[in-house]
Structure 1
């Protein structure tokens, strides 16, 4: 049976869209899109997680600390903050984690093993696209495609297109990812190019981030020596391609 690698750019609040992408064992993008509620997320993933799979969630799977940040976040930030790729702190004092993280509930519903070091054929990983792109694309700082005050449409669009360019160039790496012939990817690029509003960019951004998550899942499987696992089973892990030792921040 073919193994699949899925990516979930999970909205912490259920009312916002979630990006979902799937890559096959050959590194070819199968699907990329956006859904809303948990039932839609599970339905989108279900055909691809019946057998061997790795699902990369851009969201916490384990949150037990009542305040502050998790050890995984502290450790990742130590490496990546200088590239502006630090994570937001997660704790059960925040309403979205008070009843347990959404990502963890979804991974449990799919019957996935949370341990990134597990030999299980069906695993869930917590991943972080900003850190992954810094490491994979050797960025001096993160790409600024997220809508924030002071960032205009043209700047956001150019940065999102740079992200897409970087993803397309992964086809020529030791762990190839092939996206350019996929109809969903072609449509995402068209949406970004013609976008006239930030909201239109946002609709494309979630599936694109999900593709990065799926690739990290593939990369972790194909190149385990090239990843770093931050954290521990009790308090949560974050898995990312390892930061190159010679990479310098801007």
Structure 2
């Protein structure tokens, strides 16, 4: 079973991509990358997953948007449950400039056999896609009192916050179930080793562009892990906000 994380660029800019594989009762990091064009992203997915191979694709973007204006119920519920942590999400509706791109991306995945899975039987093989949102996931997985604010602010502040996120990933995700094995990642794939160097911190990015590149890939890694957590535990240790008809977001609940 493979788990693909897509930190989708909603309107412009590259998307972060990550592939994990379930092997020997652990998640193994296969590859992380960053691509711009939607067709290139889909080609990357096709390269990672054969036409009949089971996998979950976890996308950080609203791929189901039925409402012409306003907010989806799923978006409202992130503010209800996670607003106090600063983890409410942006509203999604069909009038937003990103809507066509994100919805079409979900449809492209459906055409490849990846069905939406707001409900799932834990550890059942299949081809699924889900919408995820890393900020509330980090609150629950890492037991935080507020989100790690690595997306906005001065470069120096974002550097510190992003390194904090990285440290949480390498310290905590290997201790959870499913466990993420990063120990040999640097030796398996050159693209992965660009930001996962064994269990050591990478070189701190010194430019906004380099920081954004690292951010996108770490977000994609989180998305892939959320997909694995959903498959491993199902509803037992995950929260589903919304539904298939109106849009939904899967959020790990942690221990």
Structure-1-length-normalised TM-score: 0.88
Q: How many aligned positions are there?
A: 238
Contact 1:59 1:103 in 2 (8 A): no
Instruction: Give the one of 12, 16, 20 matched to 1:19.
Output: 16
Partner of 2:207: 197
User: Structure 1 residue 38: deviation in Å?
Assistant: 1.3
Instruction: Give the one of 228, 236, 247 matched to 2:247.
Output: 236
Contact 2:30 2:192 in 1 (8 A): no
Task: Describe the superposition over 1:153-210 as per-residue Cα deviations: whole angstroms up to 9, x where unpaired.
Answer: 2211111111111111211223211224313443225796242211210011111100
Partner of 1:186: 193
Contact 1:157 1:192 in 2 (8 A): no
Partner of 2:134: 129
Q: Does 2:223 align with 1:213?
A: yes
Distance change in 2, residues 1:165/1:194 (3 Å): closer
Partner of 2:5: 7
Give the whole-Å Cα distance in 2 for the aligned partners of 1:39 and 1:206: 18
SS in 1 for 2:27: coil
Report 1:73-112 matches (<5 A). 73-98=75-100, 101-112=103-114
Partner of 2:28: 28
Give the whole-Å Cα distance in 2 for the aligned partners of 1:86 and 1:100: 19
Cα RMSD of the aligned pairs, angstroms, is 2.0
Distance change in 2, residues 1:107/1:135 (3 Å): same
Give the whole-Å Cα distance in 2 for the aligned partners of 1:23 and 1:56: 11
Task: Describe the superposition over 1:48-76 as per-residue Cα deviations: whole angstroms up to 9, x where unpaired.
Answer: 33311011000112001011110111112
User: Structure 1 residue 232: deviation in Å?
Assistant: 1.0
Q: Which runs of 5+ in 2 are unaligned?
A: none
